[in-house]
Structure 1
Amino acid sequence: MLTVIAEIRTRPGAHHRQAVLEEFKKIIPAVLAEAGCHGYAPMVDSATGLDFQTSAPDSIVMVEQWASAAHLKAHLETPHMLGFRDAVKGDVLDTTIRILESGV
C-alpha cells in the first residue's frame, strides 16, 4: 500500500484555493471508484489555535492511498485527472508529491 501526500500550492487568495477544491469535489467519486484506490481526500489547515501549528493558507494537502505504483500511474492518466489538471492550471503554482510506504 502506498500513501501519497501531495501539497498543492495555489496562487495567493482564498478564491484560488476554493476553485481547486471545487474541482476536486467533481472528481472524487470517480477517483474513489478507480481500481486500487483506497483513499483520496483533499485537506486544508484546521484553525486549531495551537501555537506549534504550521499553516499554509494557500495550500491543499492531498492524502491518497493506492494499492500499487501501477494503480497510481493509471490514475494520473485517467480522463478525469487530465481534465482536472487543465481546469486548475490557472490556480495552481506548484505541487510537491511524496510517495510513502510503511516504515515498520
Structure 2
Amino acid sequence: MLNIVAIITAKPGMRSQVLEAFNANVPAVLAEDGCIEYGAVIDAPDMGPFQTKLGEDAFAVIEKWESKDALMAHAVAPHMKEYGKKTKDWVADKKIYMLNGA
C-alpha cells in the first residue's frame, strides 16, 4: 500500500475554487481501481501554538492506494487530466510525498 500526502498551494484567494474542483472530482477518483482513500483537508482551527499551519491558501490531499500501478493509472486518468487543466491557473505550488509504512 502507498500513502500519498500532497500539499497544494493555491494562488492567493483561489483555494476555495481549487477545492470546489477537487471535491467535484473525488467520486471519480474513489471509483478507481485500487483507491482506498482520497480527500482534502485544511488546517484545524484553534489547535494551539504547537500546530504548524498549511495556511489560508493551502490544503493537503490524503490518499491511500493499493499499489504503485493503481497510483500510476490514477495519475493519467482522464478525470485527473481534466482537473489539472481546470485548476492549472489557480495553483501556485504542488508537492507530492509518496510514502510507505515504516
Aligned with 2:5: secondary structure?
A: strand
RMSD: 0.9
Q: Please give the per-residue CA displacement for 1:3-26, whole angstroms capped at 9, x wherever unaligned.
A: 00000011112xx10001100121
Aligned with 1:25: secondary structure?
A: helix
Structure 1 ranges of 4+ moved more than 6 A: none
Aligned with 2:18: secondary structure?
A: helix
Number of equivalenced pairs: 101
Match of 2:28 among 27, 30, 40: 30
The offset of 1:38, in angstroms, is 0.0
| Residue 90 (structure 1) aligns with | 89
Q: TM-score if structure 2 supplies the norm length?
A: 0.95
The offset of 1:94, in angstroms, is 1.3
Q: Percent identity?
A: 39
Aligned with 1:52: secondary structure?
A: coil
Aligned with 2:4: secondary structure?
A: strand
Aligned equivalents of 1:20, 1:91: Cα separation in 2: 7
Opposite residue 62 of structure 2, the aligned amino acid is V
Aligned equivalents of 2:23, 2:10: Cα separation in 1: 16
Match of 2:50 among 49, 52, 71: 52
**Structure 1 gap segments, 5+ residues each:** none
Q: TM-score if structure 1 supplies the norm length?
A: 0.93
**Structure 2 gap segments, 5+ residues each:** none
| Residue 80 (structure 1) aligns with | 79
The offset of 1:48, in angstroms, is 2.2
